[in-house]
Amino acid sequence: MKRIAISISFVLISLFVISQNAVIRQVSPIQFSELIKNPSGVLLDVRTQSEFSNGHIANSGQLNYYSLDFRKNLLLLPKDEPIYLYCNTGYRSQKAADILTENGYQNVYNLEHGIMDWELKNLPVVVDPDARPDTDNKMDFSEYAKLIQSKELVFIDFYAPWCSPCRKMMPMMDSLKVDYHGSINIVKVNVDASKSLVKALRLVGVPYLVIYKNGKLLYSNNGAVTRNEITSVFQSNLAKN
């Protein structure tokens, strides 16, 4: 019995050491572009098929992070080859990397800020011939430049359809638009549909929230906010302006 207990303890310790040695390497677009030249590695895009079709890194496979069988299919990847992961901002690919390292994969690389940062560095993407670009809440730079010069407060919500925090905030944003109608102009900008604007502003993540008046930036926030947090910001800026 003692020998069995010792054996079990040894296995557990071995597994702990393996998991401790499994490191996810966060890399920049330039580093990533060099790494994926390795012919033995696996390059994987973990976005949806629509996102993939509208712009992906050449020679990458695609596996939808939101699919029910994502984890099962992800773990079919070979353990003896480096795995190179990316998504739009690095969030989904980081989650995928966590799954791999928890299951003994030792050579996992994540494009830290995703393909948004990749495109900011003017690195190439492939657009499929049958791609259907997203046009909802599209905005170009000239429209944006005109919008932020408004004499009234303008609140801009940069979001993406695939972004979970963005989706969770959508009902709140819709209700705020009603509650502050006539006092704050609340505008949504879809980053997937507004890639030229995203590139000009050098955005690398969503949600990204800003308030402008007369061309002056009064507030900015990267990440989700609660209703109480944003209404407090609204009231403060209305009082000042």
Q: Is 31 within 8 Å of 37 (Cβ atoms)?
A: no
120, 152, 177 - which closes a domain: 120
Strand ordering across the sheet containing 208-213: 184-190, 153-159, 208-213, 216-222
21 with 50, same domain: the answer is: yes
Mean pLDDT of 8-14: 39
The identity of residue 118, as a single letter, is W
Regarding predicted confidence, which is higher, 128 or 7? Answer: 128
- 111 with 148, same domain: the answer is no
CA 71 to chain centre: 19
Query: Are 14 and 87 found together in one domain?
Result: yes
Q: Is pLDDT at 116 greater than 50 in this prediction? A: yes
Give the Cβ contact number of residue 215 at 10 Å. 9
Phi, psi of 73 (to 5 degrees): -70, -35
Is 191 part of any domain?
yes
Please list the residues that pair with 30 across neighbouring strands.
Answer: none
How is residue 42 written in tokens?
């696996």
The verdict on pTM exceeding 0.85 is: no
Determine, yes or no, domain membership for 35.
yes
Instruction: Tell me the CATH number at 171.
Output: 3.40.30.10
- List pLDDT tens digits, range 133-158: 889 999 999 999 999 999 999 999 99
Mean pLDDT of 221-227: 96
Give residues with Cβ within 8 angstroms of 122, minimum separation 6: none
Those residues whose C-beta lies under 8 Å from the C-beta of residue 181, and which sit 6 or more positions away, are none
Statement: residue 13 has pLDDT above 80: no
Q: Which domain holds residue 187?
A: 141-240
Q: Is the peptide bond before 29 cis (omega within 30 degrees of 0)?
A: no
Domain containing 6 — which CATH number?
3.40.250.10
Inside any domain, residue 6: yes
Q: Is residue 25 located within the same domain as residue 98?
A: yes
Q: What does the pLDDT average to over 73-94? A: 96
Record the tokens describing residue 55, joined without a space.
């712009």
Same domain, yes or no: 20 and 111: yes
In the predicted model, is pLDDT for residue 14 greater than 60? no
Looking at the fold, whether 111 and 147 belong to one and the same domain comes out as no
Q: What's the pLDDT score for residue 22? A: 64
In sequence order, which residues have a C-beta less than 8 Å from that of residue 190 and are 6 or more positions away? Answer: 134, 136, 137, 138, 159, 160, 161
Active site members = 163, 166
pLDDT beyond 50 at 10: no
Structural domain count of the chain: 2
- pLDDT of 217 > 70? The answer is yes
Nearest to 111 by CA among 126, 89, 96: 89
Question: Does 230 or 16 have the greater pLDDT score?
Answer: 230
Residue 11 pLDDT level (bands cut at 50, 70, 90): very low
**131 domain residue, yes or no:** no
- Same domain (yes/no): 82, 160: no
